[in-house]
């Protein structure tokens, strides 16, 4: 069973609207959680990283939250743009540096 589950699998939003992606994990012992953005035909690129003691981190219009008690994270995209169309991947690292990747949420922003 995958230790990192993301929802929804995909979503379509209108340009300018906000959206929130979810990530639930069971990885233990927890070290950090990253959100990656993967454009079609490209490799993933890191957006944010959060450790156990951090509960929010922003990168421009992207804001990630972490609740280490419930083992949940979210990625909020504000005022979406066409360039936000991509797959967003949640990646959790354990204390030994082993990474567990979620399957990703495919976001399509339409004009």
When binding is defined by CB under 8 A, the residue of 53, 60, 70, 97 that contacts other proteins is 97
List binders of other proteins among 43-72 (CB under 8 A). 43-46, 49, 51
| Residue 34 binds other proteins (CB under 8 A) | yes
HEC letters along 9-60 = CEEEEECCCCEEEEEEECCCCEEEEEEEEECCCCCCEEEEEEECCCCEEEEC
Binding site for other proteins (CB under 8 A): 2, 4, 9, 31-32, 34, 41-46, 49, 51, 89, 93, 95-97, 99-104
């Amino acid at each position: 069973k995958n230790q990192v589950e993301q929802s929804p699998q995909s979503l379509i939003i209108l340009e300018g609207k906000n959206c929130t992606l979810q990530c639930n994990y069971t990885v233990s012992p927890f070290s950090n959680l990253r959100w990656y953005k993967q454009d079609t035909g490209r490799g993933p690129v890191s957006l944010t990283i959060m450790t156990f003691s951090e509960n929010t981190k922003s990168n421009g219009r992207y804001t990630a939250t972490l609740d280490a008690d419930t083992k949940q994270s979210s990625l909020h995209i504000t005022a979406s743009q066409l360039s936000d169309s991509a797959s967003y991947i949640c990646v959790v690292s354990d204390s030994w540096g082993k990474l567990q990747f979620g399957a990703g949420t495919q976001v399509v922003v339409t004009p």
